[in-house]
Structure 1
């Protein structure tokens, strides 16, 4: 027995090395008891000193409109289908929670799924006066536009953004809207400004978006306008809300300004579409005026079926062209299948077309066979 080894005395009076058998359970029970006592004390204090609704409403309004920059951070906007979706941001939600008082707020990442490529966060708001708790869960994808998994640092950043959104939703879902509606309207008025400062504010907004790599043309398209001169006072809250969402991480540039495919070019397929073998064995039908000489079998996979008449091939033995993007995606799927086991890889490989097999690294066919 070493000099510093822990000992305890048994019921028989013997000295035994190590901790008692029930030490872990006792420690866990103590932690639970301390947490319960802490919450009980907070509830008792909240009920002894209840909040003043009027004071909370006035304080929220005062802080949200303290200056122009604070007001800009209190609103977010996301363009959706040519019509922006606006609302209070996480910054305004934090002001609301702080001035509403007698509450506990928190957020945490509860799940990171590297297979399905998403991170899930949970936000909680506990009103200590009414003893009512509200939770909110938010998922964010952790893959890039090509379907590849983000690195660890970016997964952490995405998790933090998901926590901010979940926290905001929990707060706004628990605090009555009547408490913060007037403050939100006042924030929009401050952000809109007046006609005298409109030109300067438009230029400043374009410079702010430029730091995220966003061009004026992308902004015009998102707002549904033709140029800078069409940005009015009504557009300014939306414009600054979009910038606030990018700045706080509530939205990404790819989500806010999705790139449209070039005219005549099919949109890029997802990683799942590249790696999912077709199950039917029949042949696809094309219109008479577009039907190629050799129609493509369905089990040639989506990559071959969308290659067009000039590159179509039969599943039995063609060598149609595969784009670099498709080849990279197929290689990544192949690596995942190998990790799952050779049987899973062989079943997946059997459903590929000859063109898709040829696009894989040279060792893949041998391993599959």
Structure 2
């Protein structure tokens, strides 16, 4: 019997086993149907921009969110600030009709390949970032390999959160993000009737008197001068104080005490140098200071 006749009489005789190909095709079809459903719902119920902005403003009036809505770090002599991943998630939730998340595409020996994305289902605007995460963590300048699956997952999620934040902020209009940040500032400043500068000064004095933490140690922790502290920095400083007060951590967990010692020693030497009289000896120079002669008895 020819191969064609045999295949006609028994269609399954020459079918190659598909294996994972069938499962991949079924998974791809299911994901495609889910995407179509999301797009259909987004087109059927488009966002109301005024209601979305109102929901974002209301969310930013919560002190718990406002206190974690910003990040800050120093880049050289410049302080860099921006919306945190927590604020970005709230923006995405209340803006509506967004599909966003982090996916681990592949896990190889010693590294993972992941993707962060944010897709506006209404306007078809999409931000996507593919990145590689090494299975290591830094501890005191050394790189320690990660073997526990939970540690690897947390490492990928931590690195992916920054990419996800960038994707969300790249899709949501910038003026909406600025409005949310300003509302968070108003929320934090409205909790006290004292100026920010006075509250920062009081916090620095409290750390000095209660825990022996100097201003230099706090500035070393934050990476920039206390004169540039914002409402968000003050909230972080308050959280550190509460953690130490409740016994959840100790001063050494947050601050490097050697910073204060070294700077205090330098200040002491400067003060000593200023208070000690300076004597300059010039060789072969005439002595301009008259020497007092003893009085001779009168004859």
Given the superposition, is the C-alpha separation of residues 82 and 219 from structure 1 closer, same or farther in structure 2, using an over 3 Å criterion? farther
Aligned counterpart for 1:171 among listed residues 148, 168, 175: 168
Equivalents in 2 of 1:242, 1:77: separation in Å? 13
1:64 counterpart residue number: 60
Unaligned segments of structure 1, at least 5 residues: 1-9, 208-213, 245-253, 264-369
1:78 counterpart residue number: 73
Whether 1:27 aligns to 2:23 is yes
User: What's the secondary structure of 2:103's corresponding residue?
Assistant: strand
Structure 1, residues 64-104: CA drift from partner, whole Å, max 9, x if none?
A: 222x2210111111122233211111111011111111111
Asked whether the equivalents of residues 109 and 121 of structure 1 are also in contact (C-alpha less than 8 Å), the reply is yes
Structure 1, residues 236-256: CA drift from partner, whole Å, max 9, x if none?
A: 334547999xxxxxxxxx9x9
Aligned counterpart for 1:130 among listed residues 101, 123, 145: 123
Query: What's the TM-score once normalised by structure 1's chain length?
Result: 0.50
Given the superposition, is the C-alpha separation of residues 151 and 30 from structure 1 closer, same or farther in structure 2, using an over 3 Å criterion? closer
2:39 counterpart residue number: 43
Aligned counterpart for 2:100 among listed residues 96, 105, 109: 105
Equivalents in 1 of 2:12, 2:40: separation in Å? 45
Given the superposition, is the C-alpha separation of residues 38 and 203 from structure 1 closer, same or farther in structure 2, using an over 3 Å criterion? same
Aligned counterpart for 2:194 among listed residues 193, 196, 203: 196
Query: What's the TM-score once normalised by structure 2's chain length?
Result: 0.60
Given the superposition, is the C-alpha separation of residues 74 and 132 from structure 1 closer, same or farther in structure 2, using an over 3 Å criterion? same
1:187 counterpart residue number: 184
2:282 counterpart residue number: none
Equivalents in 2 of 1:49, 1:165: separation in Å? 30
What pairs with 1:108-257 in structure 2 (closer than 5 Å)?
Answer: 108-110=103-105, 121-137=114-130, 142-144=136-138, 145-153=140-148, 154-193=151-190, 194=192, 196=194, 203=203, 217-221=216-220, 222=222, 224-225=224-225, 235-240=230-235
Asked whether the equivalents of residues 118 and 127 of structure 2 are also in contact (C-alpha less than 8 Å), the reply is yes
CA RMSD of aligned residues (A): 4.4
Equivalents in 1 of 2:113, 2:216: separation in Å? 33
Unaligned segments of structure 2, at least 5 residues: 1-6, 208-212, 240-252, 263-299
Query: What is the total number of aligned residue pairs between the two structures?
Result: 228
Given the superposition, is the C-alpha separation of residues 140 and 26 from structure 1 closer, same or farther in structure 2, using an over 3 Å criterion? closer
Asked whether the equivalents of residues 169 and 177 of structure 2 are also in contact (C-alpha less than 8 Å), the reply is no
User: What's the secondary structure of 2:143's corresponding residue?
Assistant: coil
User: After alignment, is 51-60 or 134-143 more displaced?
Assistant: 134-143
User: What's the secondary structure of 1:22's corresponding residue?
Assistant: coil
Equivalents in 2 of 1:196, 1:102: separation in Å? 41
Q: How far does residue 170 in structure 1 lie from its aligned partner after superposition?
A: 0.6
